[in-house]
Amino acid sequence: MNITGQGAWDTGTYTNLFLKLGYDKNEITNRLEETWNELFYGDKNTRIYYPMGEDKGYLLDTGNLDVRSEGMSYGMMMAVQMDKKEEFDRLWNFSHTFMQHKAGRYKDYFAWHCKPDGTQLSQGPAPDGEEFFAMALFFASNRWGDGAEPYDYKAQARKILRACIHQGEDGEGDPMWDPETKLIKFIPETPFSDPSYHLPHFYELFAKYADEEDQRFWKEAAAASRAYLHTACHPVTGLSPEYANYDGSPAPIQPHGDFRHFYSDAYRVAANIALDWEWFRRDHWQIEQSNRIQSFFSDIEMSDYRRYTIEGEPFDEPSLHPVGLLATNAMASLAADGPHADTFVRKFWNTPLRQGERRYYDNCLYFFSMLALSGRYRMY
């Protein structure tokens, strides 16, 4: 694997690991297009996208039958990467119309989930949605140009980021980033984080595209998140908890559950670290970390994936999203240089999209990995 030199930001070149492993270029392109078509327009057991009326659409969390800011922002990122403007605009219009708060303590944040008809189920936001919304909107502005509101993508992205770090300065609400540590919070009101929310590669770009007076903050946030992941990922297994304190230690048990262990949210950490390496190559620890997590899972079949303590002890509880976990383990190969990197990419290539009730989260992670390993998860 390519572990030296500069990242794609400096070179403009993106690693196509499928091609490096001998898969045919046209076959790779067709596989990516087919995956998009299955997710957005496939049969009822596979698709997760649904158009709504003349100008809206949504991604459905098929396991909970609701629409989440996470999924909507993911869908927008998928669409801009694939140059699918109609689907992007439909998703954004739904999100802007039904989910984004126009006033109050959550002004310019997004309700984290709602019904497919747009009725909000909870007003509170989840910051992973906001950061993906903002990044997708900047990419849309750079790729397609800006239109009339709400399709003035760059202005909309800047408005979201402004709220993320300045909310509460007038006495109402809370920011999504802790002002002291520059670390993203789990939700605005909590004094702890979620390691899978940390996207330093996005913050590097926010430092270029956000309001000028906030660009230094985002540069510092990128450095803070990279350092934080060193503490949140176990030094032997590479596993991280779902929720973690600002020092990286597992956060206390919450009223809604125990999130001290490696489970669904945490799968995304490996993918995020790998994409940061692919784009910017600022932290060589990311190579070691990617090798560690692949080594941990190297002797475990996807059918045997479980919940684990961060020390690696398995629970008698199967993974809810084994396809998603395999996908992120494979995406780690963008940074890994160990003996398992090629194997995970081949396993992923040979694994189809998940079908059925729980397919939404798995297949979102699947599509991002398919993009990344094809050299098609790009900065615009």
- Catalytically active residues, by annotation: 70, 265
The DSSP call for residue 304 is G
- CB count, 10 Å around CB of 86? 11
Cα–Cα distance for residue pair 86/170, rounded to 1 Å: 37
SS3 category, 51: strand
What does the alpha-carbon distance between residue 177 and residue 186 come to, in Å, rounded to a whole number? 9
The interaxial angle of helices 127-144 and 69-81, nearest 10 deg, is 20
Cα-based torsion angle of the residue sequence 293, 295, 299, 300 in order, rounded to the nearest 10 degrees: 0
Sequence-distant (6+) residues with CB within 8 A of 346 are 21
Distance in angstroms between the alpha carbons of the first and the last residue of the chain: 24
- What would the two tokens of residue 336 be? 């890994």
Tokens of 87: 């689907």
Phi, psi angle pair for 56, to nearest 5°: -135, 165
Residue type, 26: N
